[in-house]
Chains A and B, each alone.
Chain A
Amino acid sequence: MERRATFRSPLLPWLLVLPQLLIIFVFFYWPTGEAFHWAFTLEQPWGGGRQWVGWQNFQEIFGSAAYWSSVRTSLTYAFGTSALAILIALLLALFIDREVRASRGWRVALIWPYAIAAPAIGMIFRFVFDPRAGVFSTLNALWPGAWDPALNGTHAMLMLILAGAWQLVAYNFVFFLAGLQSIPRPLIEAAAMDGAGPLRRMRDIQVPLLAPTFFFLVVINLTDSFTNSFGLVDIMTAGGPARATEIMVYKIYADGFKGLDYSGAAAQSIVLMGLVILLTVIQFRFVERKMHYR
């Protein structure tokens, strides 16, 4: 960060960062602080401000079966989505990196899903997997109830994971391709000279050298699945059937804005914050390793 040739002025740098600082103070630091404040207090039923209750809000959420069910749901969704999206993207990138002709064209053909909004893709998957109008309607006509995400929790979760992975594949693909293209060509060529075929090179050179990208994407995918999944869930299942797809973000929304339990929602937010921060810390430790590899 050190530079020799810099400008000096007592006031100007402050004026330049002021807009950014004001906005993050009002919309980031203050709300985050409020979340902590609310998590440790309870609003008095007949007014009179907030009363300090210590860890009571946390004890309540950790004692509630519905909360643990939402944690399990989140984990299932996050790991399911990430695993599927990363494996598919890795395969595609390995193939595209063979630099068959028109590989630029392939890139466009595979990247566009990232542009599509969660509500739109949620709506589309909801139609495609609709038990009466979608692709499985034939199946349901033969065996009624063979596929029904509106009644069967497992079906609903499967549908959600497919939609989530569909969205993330394009994103992962971009990073894997960038990672593959930064592997020095001579390395591949030398291996080919030594008689290693394409599959052998994938296994012994490309995939191991992609390890940093791989871990980076695992963290980013998990974080994204924990925080960014609201749109899909709200449109496709609204947390149902019987809370089978009620992920943590959705429960915070439902408890906070529908149940008006601000303290409970704030305590849940804090737990989720902890989880996200943990993932970020892992990511930073790993970014250092990435430097080391290069």
Chain B
Amino acid sequence: MVERRPWLDVFTHIVLLLSAVALLVPVWLALVAATQDVAGVNSVPIHWLPGGHLADNLAEAWRRGGFATRFTTSLIVAVGVTVGKIVLAMLAAFAIVFFSWRARVLVFWAIFITLMLPLEVRIVPTYAVAANALAPFQAILDATGLTGLIETVSGIHVALQWRLLNSYPGLILPLIATATGTFLYRQFFLTIPEELVEAAKMDGAGALRFLWDVLVPLSRTTMAALATIMFVYAWNQYLWPLLVTTEPERSTVMVELSRMVPRGDGLPEWNIVMAGALLAMLPPLAVVVLMQRWFVRGLVQTEK
């Protein structure tokens, strides 16, 4: 604080309080709705104070959405994306920063360009790839004439096929195919002093030893920041899981939530729907509130 201005401070607090409340209002109304019965939630005017049906509504939403299995699916996907991203990003960034090899700049740019286009804008062809993840390789074999060659030589017709729809790899892999984490790691590796590398080499450590014993322990904060961001990102995915899980049994929490949109003529059961929405948003919310420091750090760093 530069100077003492008690009135301005009071005013500041009021502005902040009002905005915090304004941000909270929609979620508060959802929480209140989740504590009403069907008649209460549809009454005019809207209720601002909670009723007594929260536990019933949560239980009903949990049962109706089959959330026991959905939560498992979403959890596996979120953890899979988080771990996969961290491992891939670290390995790739390590190769780009700590090795001198000829293709380094080329590889760097090949990875860098993926930052440009988010999954949403190439969604239709990505879906086609998910129907057969080996299609690119088959096409290359066909184009180079290798398929025909193998067929004449060995009599085997090569038809590569790996269907990813309704599978965990299908849910996870396309979400890993960006360079966010790689760049976060690259930035971090560039701050490692060269003396550290020299000392490690002097002591006879090879590249992998250096990675495992020096870089991995040093990168704990980077890892925590990336992990919180990726977990929230993966849990909250909607469009991709919606496309890839064609069987309702395999869908994620978010896709299941979208199926709860009230339809038909009866009184809409907003109380159950809101209970479902609250359940679905709880895990990432917990991550952000508990790991706020890492989350903010990751947010600021991944965009640079």
Contact = CB atoms under 8 A, between A and B. Distances in A.
Given A21-B110, A115-B285, A128 B29 contact: yes
B215 to A, nearest CB: 12
B229 to A, nearest CB: 10
B150 interface: no
Contacts of B128: 31, 34
Contacts of B260: 123
A134 B274 CA distance: 12
A32 B125 contact: yes
Interface in A248-262: 249, 252-253, 256-257, 262
Interface residues of B, number: 111
Chain B contact residues, majority secondary structure: helix
A162 to B, nearest CB: 9
Interface stretch (A64-72, A73-81, A90-98): A90-98
Interface string B1-20: 11101001100110110011
Contact of A13 (B5, B19, B33, B99): B99
B82 interface: no
B117 A178 contact: no
B238 A280 contact: no
A100 B1 contact: yes
A137 B45 contact: yes
8 contacts: A3-B98, A7-B207, A32-B125, A132-B44, A140-B44, A228-B118, A253-B123, A276-B116
Interface of B: 1-3, 5, 8-9, 12-13, 15-16, 19-20, 23, 25-27, 29-30, 33, 41-42, 44-46, 87-89, 91-92, 94-101, 103-105, 107-108, 110-111, 114-118, 120-129, 133, 135-136, 173-174, 176-179, 182, 190, 194-195, 197-198, 201, 206-208, 210, 232, 235-236, 238-239, 242-243, 254, 257-258, 260-261, 268, 270, 273-274, 276-278, 280-281, 284-285, 287-289, 292, 295-296, 299-300, 303
Given A34-B128, A92-B15, A170-B23, 13 more contacts: A12-B95, A20-B88, A32-B125, A35-B125, A112-B288, A119-B236, A127-B33, A138-B45, A141-B44, A189-B2, A269-B122, A269-B125, A280-B115
